[in-house]
A = this chain, B = another copy of it.
Amino acid sequence: MTNARRRGPDLTEAIMRTTMELGQEIGYAKLSIEAVASRAGVGKHTIYRRWPSKGALLLDSLMSLNGPALDYPDTGDVIADLRAQVHTAVDLLARGPFSHLFQALVGEAQNDPRVATALNERFIAPQADKTVARLKTARDQGQLSPAFDLDLAMAILSGPLYFRFLITQEPLTHEYVDGILEALFTGMGPRQ
């Protein structure tokens, strides 16, 4: 009984990996905790003890992909660093093999406040903090207007990506990201 001996991190990792594999195969709508348990060779209560819903399980599974990949570099050039990080985020979440699962997770957050809260606590807020920290360094170095609200800057950077990902559902390209960044720095008004 190999499965019965798996404990702690190994078991958690196996369940999350199975969730991602099965989610990719059959889609989020058909995914169930029962199916994950069966594929992973564990009892469903083993999963329910830790994850109260398939939304919670998918969230943890998706988040386990990130690791340090979404940290910001600091080369001294804030535009280049924002561009590099956002390209990585887009490739990981919005264009990669998991994009439909991430999309389904945000969809679930519209109907389940617990998923919405967990998504924010586990992913959105920590990423926002990293973005604001990188912008603050740039502001301290004179690369940003001193008066600019950094939380607002974060929302203007992130919002258009989610708008395309969730609303128009057009492909998220690096060119689009680059255009947003350039526009955010130069502004739309006529140059003085």
With A155-B160, A183-B156 in contact, is A166–B111 under 8 Å at CB? no
Main secondary structure of the interface of A (DSSP, over half): helix
List, in ascending order, chain B residues with CB within 8 A of A109's CB: 107, 166-167, 169
Q: Is A186 an interface residue (CB 8 A)?
A: yes
Give 1 or 0 for each of A164-192: 1 = CB within 8 Å of chain B CB.
Answer: 10111100000010011001111111111
Q: How many copies does the complex hold?
A: 2
List, in ascending order, chain B residues with CB within 8 A of A186's CB: 145, 187, 189
Q: Is A74 an interface residue (CB 8 A)?
A: no
Complex Cα–Cα for A24 and B80 (A): 46
Q: Is A106 an interface residue (CB 8 A)?
A: yes
Complex Cα–Cα for A144 and B188 (A): 6
Asked if B155 and A163 make an inter-chain contact with CB atoms under 8 angstroms apart, the answer reads: yes
Complex Cα–Cα for A161 and B166 (A): 13
Q: Is A149 an interface residue (CB 8 A)?
A: yes
Complex Cα–Cα for A164 and B162 (A): 10
Most buried by B among A103, A119, A144, A160: A160
Q: Is A1 an interface residue (CB 8 A)?
A: no
List, in ascending order, chain B residues with CB within 8 A of A158's CB: 159-160, 163, 167
List, in ascending order, chain B residues with CB within 8 A of A160's CB: 152, 155-156, 158-160
List, in ascending order, chain B residues with CB within 8 A of A176's CB: 152
Asked if B168 and A120 make an inter-chain contact with CB atoms under 8 angstroms apart, the answer reads: yes
25 A–B contact pairs at CB < 8 A? A104-B110, A106-B110, A107-B109, A109-B166, A116-B169, A119-B167, A143-B190, A144-B189, A144-B190, A145-B186, A145-B187, A148-B183, A148-B188, A152-B179, A155-B163, A156-B159, A156-B184, A158-B159, A158-B163, A159-B159, A159-B160, A159-B161, A162-B163, A162-B166, A187-B188
